[in-house]
Amino acid sequence: MLTVNAYAATSPTDPLVPTTITRRDVGPRDVLIEIAYAGVCHSDIHTVRGDWGPITYPQVVGHEVAGTVLEVGAGVTTHAVGDRVGVGTIVNSCRECDNCRAGEEQYCLEGNTQAYGSVDRDGTITQGGYSTHVVVDEDFVLRIPEALDFSKVAPLLCAGITTYSPLRHWRAGPDRNVAVVGMGGLGHLAVKLAHAMGAEVTVLSQSLSKRDDGVRFGADAYYATSDLATFDQLANSFDLIINTVSAPIELDAYLRLLRRDGTLVSVGAPPEPLPVAVFSLFGNRRSFAGSSTGGLAETQEMLDFCAEHGIEPETELIDAADINDAWKRVLSSDVRYRFVIDAASLAVTDER
């Protein structure tokens, strides 16, 4: 086993602290990755705070990993030492259920193994990417296209695929009006991706403070949801609304913005249930849906799409020691637009 540096949560509320964890020996189908960058997703915070249910501590989170292959098992054919690779939210699945066979491992009927907080096949709890190394089955390791900036690519592994997948499924493209609610980590990538797919893109943010950025990312229009007139002005206008907000929103108000047969997809995951009045769905035959990350093949497709269209996350590189401040800024919607931990700063935690 390999002992590696990491930052871990020890309770729902205490700051993350430097620690060491172990990674399993490299099995025949495993890839040992030296982590270079790890993105900071709002899900990391929800998980540690117990928003989605109790967890076991200590827990290392992080499911947006970019790194370099250090070693491969004897049976590995798809990755080689020195390759630039990525790991996202899923590190294993049953591979046999209907959903796995369809390439939708995110919906594995046996329950997939998440990058952190899941019971692994050896019975241990998986530990995530705020760390220097990770060992992952080759089938769950993605290739990072050369054209993408290595230091910026990590957030695509969760924020990118989580927005790409519903945009594709609900056919964002020319002649489709897409709204993105919340312009944080997921939201800013949703804007870039929907624009690249050819859709007309509108941002619905709490205020107009990030409007210039939104337009730079490809938004055609930008509205403040704090201004109630927005909801009158935009009634019956969108084919698709992607809700990326980490807190509850008033669904009925947003559903009324959908035109006939439009769909509001929530990818934001607040702990509270979101009530819906059925009459908001009756009008215009609207749908309310959810979507979870994406399968492995679709994640690779998304990375290749981003390389082709020059789409990169807007990132702020931080040292691991700055993680607690970064989390505070995420919680106050003060993120521009994704924090990424420089894993080189983790290599020195022993000396602190």
The contact set with Zn ion (CB under 5 A) reads: 41, 43, 93-94, 97, 100, 108, 110, 158
Q: Which range of residues in 2-10, 40-48, 109-117, 119-127 is near ligand NAP by CB under 6 A?
A: 40-48
* Residue 112 binds ligand NAP (CB under 6 A): no
**Which of ligand NAP, Zn ion, none interacts with 185 (beta carbon under 5 to 8 A by kind)?**
ligand NAP
Q: Which is nearer to ligand NAP, 138 or 312 (CB)?
A: 312
Question: Which one of residues 65, 141, 183, 343 is an interface residue with ligand NAP (CB under 6 A)?
Answer: 183
CB-closest chain residue to ligand NAP: 184
Q: How far is the CB of 298 from ligand NAP (least distance, A)?
A: 13
* Cis geometry, peptide bond prior to residue 18 (ω within 30 degrees of 0): no
Question: Which one of residues 6, 31, 38, 41 is an interface residue with ligand NAP (CB under 6 A)?
Answer: 41
Q: Which range of residues in 126-134, 180-188, 231-239, 276-284 is near ligand NAP by CB under 6 A?
A: 180-188
Q: Which is nearer to Zn ion, 47 or 263 (CB)?
A: 47
Instruction: Yes or no: say if 248 and 254 are a contact pair by the CB < 8 Å rule.
Output: no
Alpha-carbon torsion angle 163, 164, 167, 169, nearest 10: -120
What is the distance between the alpha carbons of residues 259 and 240, in angstroms, rounded to a whole number? 9
Spell out the residues 6+ positions from residue 282 whose beta carbon is closer than 8 angstroms to its own: none
Instruction: Yes or no: say if 222 and 211 are a contact pair by the CB < 8 Å rule.
Output: yes
* Residue 39 binds ligand NAP (CB under 6 A): no
* Residue 182 binds ligand NAP (CB under 6 A): yes
Q: How far is the CB of 220 from Zn ion (least distance, A)?
A: 27
* Residue 158 binds ligand NAP (CB under 6 A): yes
* Coil vs helix vs strand at 156: helix
Residue 7, class by beta-carbon neighbours within 10 Å (0-12 exposed, 13-18 middle, 19+ buried)? Answer: buried
Spell out the residues 6+ positions from residue 241 whose beta carbon is closer than 8 angstroms to its own: 178, 179, 180, 181, 204, 254, 257, 258, 262, 263, 264, 265
* Residue 267 binds ligand NAP (CB under 6 A): yes
* Coil vs helix vs strand at 221: strand
**Which of ligand NAP, Zn ion, none interacts with 244 (beta carbon under 5 to 8 A by kind)?**
ligand NAP
Spell out the residues 6+ positions from residue 133 whose beta carbon is closer than 8 angstroms to its own: 2, 4, 23, 32, 33, 34, 35, 67, 70
* Residue 90 binds ligand NAP (CB under 6 A): no
Q: Which is nearer to ligand NAP, 18 or 117 (CB)?
A: 117
* Cis geometry, peptide bond prior to residue 164 (ω within 30 degrees of 0): no
Kindly state the tokens that stand for 213.
């950025």
Instruction: Yes or no: say if 63 and 126 are a contact pair by the CB < 8 Å rule.
Output: no
Q: Which is nearer to ligand NAP, 148 or 330 (CB)?
A: 330
**Which of ligand NAP, Zn ion, none interacts with 86 (beta carbon under 5 to 8 A by kind)?**
none
Under the rule (CB under 6 A), what is the footprint of ligand NAP? 41-43, 46, 158-159, 162, 182-187, 205-206, 244-247, 267-269, 291-293, 330, 333, 335
